[in-house]
Amino acid sequence: MYLLFFVVSFLACVVGSICGIGGGVIIKPVLDATGVMSVSSISFLSGCTVLSMSVISVSKGLRRDKSVINFKAVTPLAIGAAIGGVLGKEIFKYAYVILPSEDKVGAIQAIILVAITLGTLIYTINSSKIKTHHLKNVGACVIIGLLLGLISAFLGIGGGPINIIILAYFFSMGTKQAAISSLFVIMFSQLTSFISTMIQGDIPKFSLFVLILMVFGGVAGGMIGSKINRKISEKEVKLLFTGLMVVIIFVNIYNVIKFSI
């Protein structure tokens, strides 16, 4: 069982670092599907893994080229995501109060992930036909970041594919630039979500060894994914991203059925 946590975290963060989706959008549904741990524990562990991976990937990216991130555009998003990370965690806690079982929370998370991933897939396939923008309004950027952080913290996925689409549509970013910028935003949303959880003492039960395995797997995967990202083309990144969305959709459909029965 321990090997499962490491392998899933490692592979998810390799692909997540390449595509800029963080890895949580893979870790969360895959581990939910296995049923090896509670929904709340998997959400927390997924968030910790993605946070560790994003810090490493962003640090390595900035050391190579500080201009790789458009801070003027992305910083307001990150600020909003930081606030949204706290709000998303609060909504997650509230869901446990109003819903009768943890499985219902898991089903809602899976349904939202199906909708987000399907929307992302449709956008990606039709991206060449869609006019993009260069959003400069700071207030609008903060609000968009807040929504991204809220969604990612509630789902425990980091940021996932929705970040890439937002960065491409509102800021006309290419696939590779959107990938590193997405990880920058993810880093802030997961950091505030983690701090909020620690301060409030709402840490779910899990094995410390599992956390170490997942974080180590995530960091190692992030480092390898960053190297691969530099060596492959924009077209190859987009192709990998599209294929991954299809797989994630089917895994989450399975989870919706699993949690609903």
Q: Report pLDDT digits (tens) over 130-170.
A: 999 989 899 999 999 999 888 887 887 766 688 888 999 99
pLDDT band at residue 16 under the 50/70/90 scheme: confident
3-state secondary structure string, the chain? CHHHHHHHHHHHHHHHHHHCCCCHHHHHHHHHHHCCCCHHHHHHHHHHHHHHHHHHHHHHHHHHCHHHCCHHHHHHHHHHHHHHHHHHHHHHHHHHHHCCCHHHHHHHHHHHHHHHHHHHHHHHHCHHHCCCCCCCCHHHHHHHHHHHHHHHHHHCCCCCHHHHHHHHHHHCCCHHHHHHHHHHHHHHHHHHHHHHHHHHCCCCCCCHHHHHHHHHHHHHHHHHHHHHHHHCCHHHHHHHHHHHHHHHHHHHHHHHHHHHC
Q: What is the pTM of this model?
A: 0.84
- The arithmetic mean of pLDDT across residues 58-73, rounded, is 83
Which pLDDT does position 105 carry in this prediction?
87
- The arithmetic mean of pLDDT across residues 102-126, rounded, is 89
Look at residue 252 and tell me whether its pLDDT is greater than 70: yes
- Residue pLDDT, tens place only, 71-106: 888 999 999 989 988 888 888 888 877 877 888 888
Which pLDDT does position 238 carry in this prediction?
85
Averaged confidence pLDDT in the chain: 87
pLDDT band at residue 256 under the 50/70/90 scheme: very high
- Residue pLDDT, tens place only, 194-226: 888 888 888 888 899 999 999 999 999 988 988
Which pLDDT does position 254 carry in this prediction?
95
pLDDT band at residue 31 under the 50/70/90 scheme: very high
How many percent of the chain have pLDDT more than 90? Answer: 31
